[in-house]
Structure formats: structure tokens, C-alpha cells
Amino acid sequence: MKKILSILLVLMLLLSITACAAPKTEEPKTEEPSKQQPETKEPEGEEEPSGETFRISTYLQLSGSNAEAGNNAKNGIDLAVKYINENGGFNGAQVVVDHYDTTGSTEEAVKIVQKVLENKSADAIIGSVNSNEVSACISYINEAELYNFGLGTSATWMEDQSMIWTFRASANNNRIAPLDVDMILELGYDTVAIISGTDDTGSSTATAFEKACAEKGLTVTTRQECDTADTDFSGQITQILATDPDTIFMSLIGDTFGPFVKQLRNMGYNGMLACKECFSTAYQEVAGYENSNYIAFVYPYVPYNSVEECTIPYMRSMLEKYYAEYGKCPTHESAYRGWDTMMAMWEASKIAGSNESDALREATHKVKIDGLGGTLDYTKGDREGYSAFNSFVLVDGQNILLDEWLSSGGYEAYKTATGRDR
């Protein structure tokens, strides 16, 4: 009797958690030709890639602290796959995607990739938006000579020139860092403080930025670091504010952006911020829209609050599809990374006329297509798609081209609104 009572009470405990739930957001649907794959299933079976389907395995962080980016990337990939399948697939083969959740653990990512490789269950692999995970996995994938793309933006995992099977259709932060410095100089600033995460992307981007500052004559007043799971930044912010920088460069990751900006603004800094990437809608939501004003960044693309807001035809067309599928615009730009990656792979399959890894790899070096953030050009031989970027500034929830903002008197309005002289 007591056992039954205990079980009932545990069930009540779980139900009480369930009862207070918010109306659940509709899960993105992947309308693939084959059965839906569970997001967190273990790679299993000895299913050989068939000629009728082109099977892609992804390892993405779909839960945990940076899941926003992972889930948006997943949506972008699924959306592109749907479009590709409706338009002939990879040389007639329908594309099927198996998504695996790394939970933000590098160890889990490696286990997933090793199992996928061991089971030979994929024709290609797309890697995580977390560069730590990509860095840990690509050597295994390259050893297996399997065609793959990484979604992270850190420079580190693309530096090894022997990783010839790995490509990228997202930004390389080390290429952006010098442009970040140019942007800050263009705003007329002489000094900058840096806050960086201790993760691969945050740390390597901050280092590249610091180096570019030294080369271009921008003084770094201090560089502070924080852990990816940190929630309190008061010590770092106090140190930063004590150096009285003209602006602050943020090289953080995922969930730290929102709380950092919120705390920084609450501690009295209302000046211009520079960011290593676009300040996604999800970050603005946590930081508060009133705190997310005046964040400048260099990036290939920006998030949009609505489809109508976008005036770039190709981007708008993608956003329309995205909205039709998921009922909202992407909340993180990694959705664009996912889309671009699939489009680059698709183009490679067309050029190759084959879906074999070797042929796809060779063909990717000939890919030059319109990406969501400009031209994706792999003909340079460095396995990187993007090399041209734009400067933006986030004001009142709108990402405005920096030049346009400056020429329309935005900077003067900023000084009036903030009471700052710089």
C-alpha cells in the first residue's frame, strides 16, 4: 500500500510540474520523406547509405545553455532540406537528416560522431554551432574521409589545413575581428575594454580582436573573462568601468550575452557596445529591449523581427519560408548558418553530379553562390564561404547599416539620448 502511495505521490509531483507549464511552443516539424528521427536518439544500426536517399547526420546543441543557437540551426537545416527535396534533392536522392543532441557537451558530441562513423549511417555530417564541439569532432570525421560542414564561428578548427573534408558556410570570427576594430575606429573611439568567454569562440575571437587593436592603434584598457555558465558579472564590469573605456567589445557565447548586457546597463553604462556577432532576438529578450540599444557589430547578416522588415530579396524569401514553417522569424542567426550550409552542399552536389564524399569535397571548391549574407565563395581554396561583411548597429530593435545610421545623424541622436560625448 505504501509503495503504491509513494508511486502515486511521485506521479503527482511530476503532474504538478506539468500543470504549471506554459502553452508549449509548437516544435519545428521536419517534413522529410522518411520517418521523423528523434532528436536525442542514439546512433544505431548498420544502415548503409542508399542511392535513393542522401543521409546527413547533425550534432547540435539542442538542449542546455546554448540551445537557442542549436535549435535555430536545426530549423534552418530542416527548412533548407525541405526546399531541396522539393526541388530534386541531391542528384535525385531525397535528403534525410538525423539530428543528435550534444546537450552542449563536447564529450557527447564526440560520442555521437564516433557512433555515426562506426555505423556508417551518414553520407555527410554537419557540425555544431559550438566551436568546442566541432574542434573535438572534425579530426574523426576527416580521418573517415567524410564530407562535412561546421557551423561554429571560431577560427581555430579551420586553421588546420589537413582537415580537407571540412567546410564552413558561416562567418569566421578572426576575419571579422579586424573589421570590428575598424568599425570602432570609424565611430571615433580610442579605447576599448574586452569581456570574453573562456570557451573556444569567445577566447579566440577576443585574442584576434586584441591583436588587431594593437596593429591598428586602438588601446585596450582591460580584458576580462567569464565562464560560459556565469550569471554574475559585477566584478568584471566594475573592473571594466574603472578603466573608463570609450566602448566595450563583447566576445561571449549564448546565454551570457543577455545577463551581461542587462547587468552592465543596470550598473550605469549606457554607452556604445561592440559585439563579436549580431545581437540576436533571443539575447535582446533576456537583456531587455531597452538595454539592447546601441550595440554595433560586423557580420554577414542580421536577425529580423518580421519578414516585412527585411528588404534583401534572397533573405526575405528564406524568411517567408521560415515563417510559414515555424510561425516566427529566426531568433538566432544560426538558422541562416544552417540554411547556407545546406545550400552550399546542394550546389556542390549539382557540380559534382555525384553524392560521393570525395566528389562533393572536390566540387565544393568550385561553389560560388548567393548566400544569405552575401556571396558564398569557396573558389579561394580555404574552405571558407564568407569573406565580406557589413557593419550594423542595433537601435530600437532594428539592425541598421552603420554607414546609413551615421549619415542619418544617428550618432548625434545617440549622444543626446545617452548624455555621452562619445
Partner 1 sequence: MFKILLINGLIIGGVYGLIALGYSLIYRASGLMSFAQGDMITLGAYLGLTFYSILRLPFFLSFILTFACAFIVGVLLEKGVIRALLNKSVLPIYIVLATIAISYIIQNATQALFGTTTLRFPQVFSTATLTISGITAQTEAFACLVISLALMFLLHLFMTKTKFGTAMRSAAMDPLAAESCGINTSMSTGITWALAAAIASIAGMLLGPMYGVYTTLGSVVGRKGFAGAVVGGYGNMYGAMVGGIILGLVETFVAGYWTGTYKNLIAYAILILFLFVKPTGIFNEKAIQDV
Which grid cell is 115? 557512433
CB of 47 to partner 1, least distance (A): 28
Distances (CA, A) of 229 to 255, 285, 287, 364, 403: 8, 18, 16, 37, 35
> Which three-class secondary structure state does DSSP give residue 46?
coil
Please check whether residue 252 is in contact with residue 195, taking contact to mean a CB–CB distance below 8 angstroms.
yes
Number of residues that bind partner 1 (CB under 8 A): 57
62 backbone dihedrals φ, ψ, rounded to 5°: -100, -5
Tell me which of 33, 37, 63, 420 binds partner 1, using CB under 8 A: 63
Nearer to partner 1, 191 or 222 (CB): 222
Binding region for partner 1 (CB under 8 A) out of 66-74, 83-91, 186-194, 375-383: 66-74
DSSP string, 128-192: -SSHHHHHHHHHHHHHTT--EEE----SHHHH-TT-TTEEE-S--HHHHHHHHHHHHHHTT--EE
Instruction: Based on the shown chain and the rule CB under 8 A, indicate whether residue 417 belongs to the binding site for partner 1.
Output: no
Q: How far is the CB of 24 from partner 1 (least distance, A)?
A: 7
| Binding to partner 1 in span 238-257, by CB under 8 A | 238-239, 241-242, 255
Q: Shortest distance, CB of residue 153 to partner 1, whole angstroms? A: 20
Of the candidates 371, 323, 346, the residue with the CA atom closest to the CA atom of residue 83: 346
Minimal distance in Å, beta carbon 306 to partner 1? 19
Rule CB under 8 A: which of 211-240 touch partner 1? 224-227, 229-236, 238-239
Binding of partner 1 by 262 (CB under 8 A): yes
Residues 171-210 that bind partner 1 (CB under 8 A): 198
Least separation in angstroms between CB 130 and partner 1? 14
What is the grid cell recorded at 128? 555544431
- Min dist. Cβ of residue 193 to partner 1 (A): 12
Which of 127, 152, 202, 258 binds partner 1 (CB under 8 A)? It is: 258
Pick from 164, 214, 267, 324: which binds partner 1 (CB under 8 A)?
267
Q: Is 259 in the site for partner 1 (CB under 8 A)?
A: yes
60: DSSP letter: E
CA dist., res. 345 & res. 357, Å (int): 11
Between 258 and 300, CB nearer to partner 1:
258
Residues facing 220 on adjacent strands? 192
With CA atoms as reference, report the closest residue to 83 among 93, 73, 92, 95.
Answer: 95
Nearest to 31 by CA among 413, 312, 321, 419: 321
Query: Which residues, listed in sequence order, are joined to residue 197 by a DSSP beta bridge?
Result: 226
- Whichever of 42 and 285 has its CB closer to partner 1, that residue is 285
Task: Check if the beta carbon of residue 94 is closer than 8 Å to that of residue 162.
Answer: no
x/- contact string, 91-130, with partner 1 (CB under 8 A)?
Answer: ----------------------------------------
Residue of 227, 187, 217, 214 lying closest to 405 (CA atoms): 187
- Per CB under 8 A, contacts with partner 1 among 268-297 are 268, 282, 285-286, 288
Closer residue to partner 1, CB minimum distance, 3 or 35: 3
For the segment 22-51, give every residue that binds partner 1 (CB under 8 A): 22-25
Query: CA-to-CA distance for 187 and 182, rounded, in angstroms?
Result: 9
Q: Which is nearer to partner 1, 23 or 381 (CB)?
A: 23
CB-based burial, 219-250: b 16+ in 10 Å, e otherwise: ebbbbbbbebebeebeebbeebbeeebbbbbb
With contacts defined by CB under 8 A, name the span among 264-272, 321-329, 377-385, 393-401 that binds partner 1: 264-272
Task: Determine if 71 is a binding residue for partner 1 (CB under 8 A).
Answer: yes
**Which residue shows C-alpha cell 548586457?**
261
Q: How far is the CB of 241 from partner 1 (least distance, A)?
A: 8
Q: Is 388 in the site for partner 1 (CB under 8 A)?
A: no
Cα separation, 27 vs 156, whole angstroms: 33
Q: Which three cell numbers stand for residue 211?
A: 591583436
Per CB under 8 A, the segment of 57-65, 204-212, 335-343, 400-408 that binds partner 1 is: 57-65
**Paired residues of 401 in beta bridges:** 392
CA 120/CA 47 separation, integer angstroms: 7
How many other CB atoms sit within 10 Å of the CB of residue 362?
14
Q: Do the beta carbons of residue 152 and residue 159 sit within 8 Å?
A: no
Residue 257: CB minimum distance to partner 1, A: 10
Binding site for partner 1 (CB under 8 A): 2-3, 6-10, 12-14, 16-18, 20-25, 62-65, 67-68, 70-71, 198, 224-227, 229-236, 238-239, 241-242, 255, 258-259, 262-263, 266-268, 282, 285-286, 288, 331
